[in-house]
């Protein structure tokens, strides 16, 4: 961090097609209050000093101000100004904000005016968040949660991001580190004072502590809810050729995303659409009809369809009501060890051609839309069951997963280490891996990667 006063547009850049009602320009750094004075009192800039006290409004209090070009004294806009005194600001530094009208010319002139002051520079992507982290205002999981909140497209994504922003994940990981560090202190005492009478049963207590930690981390790693919520619940539409899988995808997507035709074997590649299903983000995949075929391209399609069915969180098996759908259902559900009757759904399509009277399946006509409300309700129920709420906060990112897998391996080594010193070293490695997640243990390249996620207004 170079201690410069930085500035950036905090709202999206106004375009001709989409000017905003307001645009917010933020400044952070020691000279943010000076900048505010020079921009709102042109004579101050000519004088060459800012005479902060009389000219600055009370911190955290919004005031109406005219913004001037400091070099010419020309009026740029009239808007609202506010400043925050360090350390009581988002970045922990002196900060100022200008809320101006959201036109391209206004924003362009105001940014240029700040540049002319000569003591501010444009912020790099993620620099405000990085400064907040440097000043202890955020840990990495909270910084990531803010990025998630900005990116959230569905209600459930928003809720998860907010929970993480409140520090739920941070607390979980820090609790684990505390547990591990306590065990480590015991081990280190055993190394430093090998001849002293350490309480009996200590080794067993440390061992139990590590095993318990391992168990909690394992359960957390098994919990895919957080990643599903960030990336979308993966739903695969599978079934025999010509059953209406692509028609169903188009119906749910409300557009012609996949080609539909009466010839069996139309779909070859996997076609994905992103949907919001009652607040749950979903990646819905249409796949090739499952059948034995001599066509090499279709064979590859069938291979991909099977792979996707295996990898999916939830399967929608589509069958043709006008064919022998029961036989197809038995064949396809029995053949798949991944078929999960608790979540997966059987859809019997084309009920406009043949009536279906069966329990446990959804009767649908992709053509007329009959049965769609029932299918949507079933999908939402399955999604909710899959994402069951409560319990500890879920893992949300591959970055966390990698660090926890590393910690888990180190804990495993610590348990079988032939010497106390080696066990202590492995325990230390495990705690360092967990510390990387929250940023308690600093890794600079990692910070760059994370903060680059924040390019709001860039
Ligand atoms: N009558 C009727 N026809 C339907 C219905 N749904 C789909 N079809 C027709 O069935 C045929 C096959 O539909 P698709 O959606 O292409 O079927 P698919 O399962 O994707 O087929 P493949 O990609 O070849 O595996 C098309 O001619 C559709 O118009 C329905 O509910 N009722
Ligand atoms: Mg198809």
Distance CA 96, CA 31 (A): 9
Residue 323: what are its φ and ψ, rounded to 5°? -115, -175
**Is-contact 211 253, C-beta < 8 A?**
no
The protein residue with its alpha carbon nearest to ligand 1, atom 1, reads 350
399-412 pLDDT, tens digit each = 999 999 999 999 99
**Is-contact 289 263, C-beta < 8 A?**
no
Distance CA 391, CA 117 (A): 52
Residues 68-89, mean pLDDT to the nearest whole number: 95
Among the ranges given (133-147, 302-316, 331-345), the one the predictor scored with the smallest mean pLDDT = 331-345
23 DSSP β-pair partners: 100
Ligand 1 centroid distance, CA of 220 (Å):
41
Give the mean pLDDT of the chain: 89
- Is 157 close to ligand 1, i.e. is its CB under 6 Å away? no
- Is 375 close to ligand 1, i.e. is its CB under 6 Å away? no
Residues 25-52, mean pLDDT to the nearest whole number: 86
**98: confidence class by pLDDT, cuts 50, 70, 90:** very high
Q: Regarding beta strands 233-238 and 5-9, do their DSSP bridges make them parallel or antiparallel, or are they unpaired?
A: unpaired
Nearest atom in ligand 1 to the alpha carbon of residue 365 is: 31
**456: confidence class by pLDDT, cuts 50, 70, 90:** very low
pLDDT at 455: 45
Residue 315 has pLDDT above 70, yes or no: yes
pLDDT at 182: 87
267-288 pLDDT, tens digit each = 999 999 999 988 899 999 999 9
CB-based contacts of 101-106 (< 8 A; 24+ apart in sequence): 101/21, 101/22, 101/23, 101/77, 102/11, 102/14, 102/19, 102/20, 102/21, 102/22, 102/23, 103/14, 103/19, 103/23, 104/13, 104/14, 104/15, 104/16, 104/19, 106/23, 106/76, 106/77
**174: confidence class by pLDDT, cuts 50, 70, 90:** very high
Residues 108-132, mean pLDDT to the nearest whole number: 95
Nearest atom in ligand 1 to the alpha carbon of residue 286 is: 20
340-364 pLDDT, tens digit each = 988 899 999 999 999 998 889 999 9
* Residues, beta carbon < 5 Å, ion ligand 2: 245-246, 266-267
pLDDT at 3: 84
Angle (nearest 5°) at CA 59 between 57 and 64: 40
Residues 378-407, mean pLDDT to the nearest whole number: 90
Ligand 1 centroid distance, CA of 53 (Å):
74
Ligand 2 centroid distance, CA of 341 (Å):
24
Nearest atom in ligand 1 to the alpha carbon of residue 241 is: 25
Ligand 1 centroid distance, CA of 320 (Å):
9
Among the ranges given (196-200, 292-296, 398-402), the one the predictor scored with the smallest mean pLDDT = 196-200
Residue 286: what are its φ and ψ, rounded to 5°? -90, 140
Residues 203-209, mean pLDDT to the nearest whole number: 84
The protein residue with its alpha carbon nearest to ligand 1, atom 32, reads 350
Distance CA 72, CA 1 (A): 32
408-450 pLDDT, tens digit each = 999 999 999 888 889 999 999 999 999 999 987 655 545 555 5
Distance CA 89, CA 83 (A): 9
Whose tokens are 């990898």? That residue is: 311
Reference 213, options 400, 416, 434; nearest CA is 434
Note the ligand closest to the C-alpha atom of 240.
1
């Amino acid at each position: 961090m170079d201690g410069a006063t930085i500035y950036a547009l905090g709202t999206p850049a106004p375009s001709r097609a989409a000017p905003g009602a307001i645009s917010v320009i933020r400044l952070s750094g020691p000279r943010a209050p000076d900048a505010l004075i020079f921009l709102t009192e042109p004579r101050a800039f000519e004088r060459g000093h800012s005479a902060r006290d009389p000219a600055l409004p009370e911190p955290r209090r919004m005031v109406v101000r005219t913004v001037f070009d400091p070099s010419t004294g020309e009026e740029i806009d009239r808007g609202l100004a506010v400043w925050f005194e360090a350390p009581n600001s988002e970045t922990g530094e002196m900060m100022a904000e200008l809320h101006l009208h959201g036109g391209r010319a206004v924003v362009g002139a105001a940014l240029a005016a700040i540049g002319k002051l000569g003591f501010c520079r444009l912020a790099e992507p993620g620099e405000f968040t990085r400064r907040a982290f440097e000043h202890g205002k955020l840990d990495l999981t909270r910084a990531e949660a803010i990025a998630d909140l900005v990116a959230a497209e569905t209600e459930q994504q928003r809720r998860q991001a907010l929970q993480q922003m409140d520090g739920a994940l941070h607390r979980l990981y820090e609790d684990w580190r505390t547990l591990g560090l306590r065990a480590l202190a015991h081990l280190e005492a055993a190394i430093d004072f090998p001849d002293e009478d350490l309480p009996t049963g200590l080794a067993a207590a440390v061992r139990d502590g590590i095993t318990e930690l391992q168990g909690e981390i394992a359960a957390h790693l098994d919990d895919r809810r957080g990643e599903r919520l960030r990336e979308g619940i993966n739903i695969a539409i599978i079934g025999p050729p010509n059953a209406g899988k692509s028609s169903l995808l188009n119906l749910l997507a409300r557009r012609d995303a996949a080609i539909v035709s009466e010839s069996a074997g139309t779909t070859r590649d996997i076609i994905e659409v992103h949907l919001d299903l009652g607040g749950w983000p979903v990646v819905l995949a249409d796949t090739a009809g499952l059948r034995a075929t001599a066509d090499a391209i279709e064979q590859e399609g069938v291979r991909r369809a099977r792979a996707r069915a295996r990898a999916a969180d939830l399967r929608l098996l589509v069958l043709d009501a006008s064919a022998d759908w029961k036989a197809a259902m038995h064949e396809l559900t029995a053949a798949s060890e991944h078929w999960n009757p608790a979540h997966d759904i059987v859809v019997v399509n084309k009920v406009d051609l043949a009536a279906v009277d069966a329990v446990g399946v959804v009767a649908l006509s992709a053509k007329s839309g009959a049965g769609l409300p029932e299918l949507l309700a079933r999908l939402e129920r399955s999604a909710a069951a899959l994402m069951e709420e409560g319990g500890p906060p879920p893992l949300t990112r591959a970055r966390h997963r990698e660090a926890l897998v590393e910690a888990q391996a180190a804990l495993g080594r610590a348990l079988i280490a032939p010497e106390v010193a080696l066990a202590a070293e492995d325990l230390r490695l495990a705690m360092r891996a967990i510390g990387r997640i929250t940023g308690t243990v600093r890794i600079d390249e990692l910070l760059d990667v994370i903060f680059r996620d924040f390019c709001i207004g860039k």
